[in-house]
Amino acid sequence: MTPVQKDEGMVRQKAMLQAHAERAARARDEGRKVVYTFVPGNLVELLLSFDVEPVYPEITALQSGMRRASDRYIREAERAGHAEDVCSYVKCDVGMALAGDVGPGKTVPAPDLLLLSGTGCATFYKWFESLAGIWRAPVALLQVPYQADGAVTDEMRRYVVAQIRDDVIPALERLTGRRFDIDRLREHLRLSARAEDAYSAVVESARRRPSPIDAYFGMVFYVGPIFTALRGTLEAVEYYERLRAEVETRARAGLGPVTPDGPMGEQRFRLVVEGPPCWTAFRDLWKLFSDAGAVVVASTYSKVGGLYDTGFRHDPDRPLESLADYCLGCYTNLSLPQRLALVERYVRDYEADGFVVHSVKSCKAFGVGQPLLLREVERRAGVPGCFLESDLVDSRYFSHANVRNRLESFLQAIDMRRKA
């Protein structure tokens, strides 16, 4: 295999996340506290206002998957009694903790607090039950009501705000021995909104032909800072403003995204993708798409950490309310009809030729109802759909031949439709 190629945004993203991982690894020695929390509905601005170090177990798990360490951790968790059929992120993370907690290249520090932001996934509760048992760390709980009826109500917002105010903030005050400083929070929220503006422009750039980005495979690199520890920092603002310029330059030059195997050639198919990727076969999967000339112009996975392209911004004038709205609005917290409407909009706005569901065995939050979603998108948006199945970080469930065959047939169907 040729060495992995990356665009400038990807290189800088890696360096930023690496630096953060190193800072987190030093946290203990430098007297800073470590808080584990989840990507969807994360309260990173609040954590930054207390100078604590956020660590995201899903990110640790997916990084383990990308560097092919996850299978070993999963076996470790299964040896400790975990079943084969549960979310592999949980098993990877638990297995890593049991194996001595060595993270991707760096030691992942143990948590001083588990901030259970229960946005969009019931398994999160079980995950932190397991980690609380292993680490004996206190838990701050944030239950985020589900948007089953397709809207955020005052009642839901009030509940989330009350929990942030009465449980999460006091837990952080106890942890750090500091008083909550609303002005610091406002400042981080202001920086978040700036980064979100620039980030949204990057997302929207995929409307161009050819698309200068891959909004699924390439986007997982770009979302790193804004989904995790760096949203709310000046560093993230600068990152996204430069990324916007870089993407704009590529678009003006009529260039597509850079894939791990080099710049993408002709874009024959514009696709919308639903569901998380398979991390253990990430490069392989991307290559299957790019070799066939398929570029992803919009994806739902890149919205799990926030739906900025539909207009949401963190708001320094409504600090706790806007944190609540952020948590309530993440993609996996949306009802299935809302998700369908969003995908339909993506197909239309980004002039997609087809819709792909990448369904991962692990994830019920994403997965339950995906076959119906596919059928309805085909019916309503009038584009063909393709259903691929594998897993997040358990390589046993990725079959190259199976995915290739399905993808090829799907792309042929698009071709035939064009000819007809």
Partner 1 sequence: MQCRYAVTLDEIVARAEALYADTELRTLARWKEGGGRVVGVAPAYVPSEIVDAAGALPAHLVGGGPGLDVVQGDAFFQSAICHLPRSLVDLGVRGALDALDLLVVPSTCDVLRNLTGVWRLLWPDRPVFFLDLPQRTDAEGVAFYREQLARLLAEVARVTGATVSTDDLRRAIGVANQRRMLLGELGELRIAEPAHVPASELHLVVRAGALLPPREHVEMLESYLHVCRTTPRPRLDVARVLLRGAFCEQPPIGFLRTLERAGCAVVDDDLLLGLRWFGRPVDMVDEPLDALAVAYVCQSPPASCRYDRAGDRPAALVDAARASRAQGVLLAAPSFCDMALLDRPALLQALESAGIPSVQLQYAENSADFGAVREQAGTFADALRLWQDLA
Q: How far is the CB of 274 from partner 1 (least distance, A)?
A: 12
Task: List the x/- string, 91-120, binding to partner 1 by CB under 8 A.
Answer: ---x---------------------x-x--
The binder of 376, among ligand SF4, partner 1, none, by C-beta within 5 to 8 A per type, is partner 1
Q: For residue 300, state whether it binds ligand SF4 (rule: CB under 6 A).
A: no
Of 262, 265, 337, 382, the one binding partner 1 by CB under 8 A: 337
- 401 Cβ neighbours under 8 A, 6+ residues apart: none
Decide if residue 359 touches partner 1 (CB under 8 A).
Answer: yes
x/- letters, 153..172, toward partner 1 (CB under 8 A): --x---x--xx--xx-----
CA 111, CA 95: separation in Å to the nearest integer?
Answer: 16
User: Using the rule CB under 6 A, which residue among 36, 56, 73, 89 binds ligand SF4?
Assistant: 89
Cα 61 from Cα 96, distance rounded (Å): 9
Instruction: Report the relative pairing of strands 262-263 and 258-259 from DSSP bridges.
Output: antiparallel
Contacts of residue 117, defined as CB under 8 A and 6 or more positions apart, other chains included, come to: 37, 38, 40, 41, 42, 43, 124, 142, 144, 327
Q: Which helix (H) or strand (E) holds 359?
A: strand 354-360
Of the pair 92, 164, the CB lying nearest ligand SF4 is at 92
Contact region for ligand SF4 (CB under 6 A) — 116-124, 266-274, 295-303, 405-413?
A: 116-124
Question: What is the closest distance, in whole angstroms, from the C-beta atom of residue 161 to partner 1 in the complex?
Answer: 10
**Whose CA is closest to 398, among 268, 247, 280?**
280
User: Closer to ligand SF4 at the Cβ: 334 or 365?
Assistant: 365
Q: Whole-angstrom Cα distance, residue 183 to residue 187?
A: 6
Site string for ligand SF4, 357-386 (x = CB under 6 A): -----xxxxx--------------------
User: Under rule CB under 8 A, which residues in 383-412 are in contact with partner 1?
Assistant: 389
Q: Binds 139, which of ligand SF4, partner 1, none (CB < 5 to 8 A, cut-off by type)? A: partner 1
What CA–CA distance (Å, rounded) separates 152 from 145?
A: 9
Half-sphere exposure at residue 193, Cβ-oriented, CA atoms within 13 angstroms: 16
**Contact pick of 367, 385, 392, 407 for partner 1 (by CB under 8 A):** 367
- Binds 34: which of ligand SF4, partner 1, none (CB < 5-8 Å by kind): none
The one among 4, 15, 149, 151 contacting partner 1 by CB under 8 A: 149
Determine the size of the site formed for ligand SF4 (CB under 6 A). Answer: 13
Query: By three-state DSSP, how is residue 93 classified?
Result: helix
Q: Which of 288, 343, 365, 381 binds partner 1 (CB under 8 A)?
A: 365
> Alpha-carbon Rg of the chain, whole angstroms?
21
Q: Which two tokens stand for residue 420?
A: 């007809």
Looking at residues 137 to 196 of the shown chain, list those that interact with ligand SF4 (rule: CB under 6 A).
none
Q: Look at residue 132 and give the partner it binds from partner 1, ligand SF4, none, a contact being a CB closer than 5 to 8 Å depending on partner kind.
A: partner 1
Interacting residue with partner 1 among 335, 378, 395, 413 (CB under 8 A): 335
Cβ-based neighbour number of residue 32 at 10 Å: 18
Q: What are the residues whose beta carbons fall under 8 Å from the beta carbon of 333, sequence distance 6 or more? A: 40, 41, 119, 120, 144, 146, 147, 327
9, 45, 263 from 258: Cα distances, Å: 10, 31, 4
Q: How far, in Å, CA of 356 to CA of 295, rounded? A: 12
Half-sphere exposure at residue 260, Cβ-oriented, CA atoms within 13 angstroms: 18
- Name which position in 69, 87, 114, 219 contacts ligand SF4 (CB under 6 A): 87
Structure tokens belonging to residue 224: 């790193």
Nearer to partner 1, 372 or 416 (CB): 372
Q: Is 139 in the site for partner 1 (CB under 8 A)?
A: yes
Separation CA 130–CA 73 (nearest Å): 15
Q: How far is the CB of 224 from partner 1 (least distance, A)?
A: 25
Around Cβ 364, how many Cβ atoms within 10 Å? Answer: 14
CA 228 to CA 243: how far, in whole Å? 17
Residues of the shown chain interacting with partner 1 in the complex, contacts defined by CB under 8 A: 77, 80-83, 85-87, 90, 94, 116, 118, 121-123, 125-127, 129-130, 132-133, 139, 141, 143, 145-146, 148-149, 155, 159, 162-163, 166-167, 335-337, 339-340, 359, 361, 364-365, 367-372, 376, 389
Residues of the shown chain interacting with ligand SF4 in the complex, contacts defined by CB under 6 A: 58, 87, 89, 121, 123-124, 332, 362-366, 392
